[in-house]
Chain A
């Protein structure tokens, strides 16, 4: 049970949030202009470091904001929580 410091609500237990997957690069503005390989890469290949990873969390049982959280994949240390992307 992590503690995430919501910019609106302050530190809250993970149980108030829904995990929303790894933070992908911004979705291509015009997907048809992107090559097949680049599209597949954007869609299916997330960063997977032994270290800090950025991921999305939804404060579902709180303010409803989508947050981007920087978390260490070995220690769980959270070093940043920001609103949106």
Chain B
């Protein structure tokens, strides 16, 4: 793998940058691998990387219907945080956040990982209670929330001029999640792909999987792609909203449904907000990218949809909510609006799990799965390599539904 550094950049500048090698290779698709990962998104690529790095398994094909990094990893709002409420969830996300912080070095690829903290703006006593409960349990796992008062909040975010004493929902306080970070989503996908490729994993783009294949014993045997059948004793699905589309081809039913989340960006402006601002009572959160655009996300449309779009009404609600706290942004302009589709499990927590079909593994139900990519990828790799979940992903098995032992993160429906 070509080493990236300031020195190498200078060296290549002398050669008009003609010496840079491809970040990943295109190789012929073979008909058999030790493992197949369907989906070259964040989770699929991270799993491929960890299979090679942690388990020495490189006879792996990552099959991608479109272009690598083109799913939700290309569409999300890059908020990385660990402010959860349950013992099952917090340690997993704490680990994931920590892995992200080391990832630029691990991958030798600048993810522009910026620990810019998240500030929750609290406008109801119910939300104050909720954040206090989180703060106290998160502390056990080393994740931090710090309470600040309104004056401190306004000092940290001068553009936040709404929510004053006379307003509809006056701000009562704020909580600073100092672990929160943002980074560059494309770089995450590319960095993992480059590193996995360098260790021998094959990434096949433009290779849509049509159906899963089962052997005579009922176990998974491989996949049928648009380029022909590919066999493997283990197949892992990391295809977000399309999980059930694939599992239905072998009659496997899963407690998932596909929904859409919205995001939009403003015109690029000079620095105005340097933290992630989350307003759970209003249902909107935003941060400013290094390019100067405000990246804004909010409400979910719970109706099933594969449209990668959000309805106008849901989008408008988010805009109106943002302007409650940032009235000056009325003059700011919307530049681009889009949606991503993802699958949500019945209890709204992720699924990293073996299934009733031997050899078939799913990693699904990630809403807000971007922050989970490093730990989720490592967990998926562990499951592929050993057949058993690691400690952090064990709570997220499908078997929890057998007795309806839901993992319910009540109140985590903002700033996913």
Direct contact of A and B (CB under 8 A): yes
A residues sitting closer than 8 Å to B (CB atoms) are 1-2, 14-15, 19, 21-22, 36-37, 40-41, 43-46, 48, 50, 53, 55, 71, 73-76
Asked if A22 and B257 sit within 8 Å, CB to CB, the answer is yes
CA gap between A37 and B398 in the complex, in Å: 13
For chain B, give the interface size range.
20 to 34
CA gap between A75 and B20 in the complex, in Å: 43
Chain B 234-264 residues near chain A, CB threshold 8 A: 242, 244-245, 253-258
Q: Which residue of B lies closest to A15 (CB)?
A: B313
Given contacts A1-B313, A14-B311, A45-B254, 16 further A-B contacts (CB under 8 A): A1-B312, A14-B313, A19-B302, A21-B302, A36-B402, A43-B404, A44-B346, A45-B253, A45-B255, A48-B258, A50-B306, A55-B304, A73-B305, A74-B305, A74-B306, A76-B307
Interface string of B311-350 (1 = CB under 8 A from A): 1110000000000000000000000000000010010000
CB-based A-B contact count at 8 angstroms: 56
Q: Which residues on B sit within 8 Å (CB–CB) of A55?
A: 303-304
CA gap between A83 and B245 in the complex, in Å: 29
CA gap between A14 and B312 in the complex, in Å: 11
Asked if B245 and A50 sit within 8 Å, CB to CB, the answer is yes
Q: Which residue of A lies closest to B347 (CB)?
A: A44
CA gap between A36 and B311 in the complex, in Å: 37
* B312 CB → nearest A CB, Å: 5
* A1 CB → nearest B CB, Å: 4
Q: Which residue of B lies closest to A2 (CB)?
A: B311
Asked if A44 and B307 sit within 8 Å, CB to CB, the answer is no
Selected contact of A40 from candidates B242, B311, B312, B401, CB within 8 Å: B401
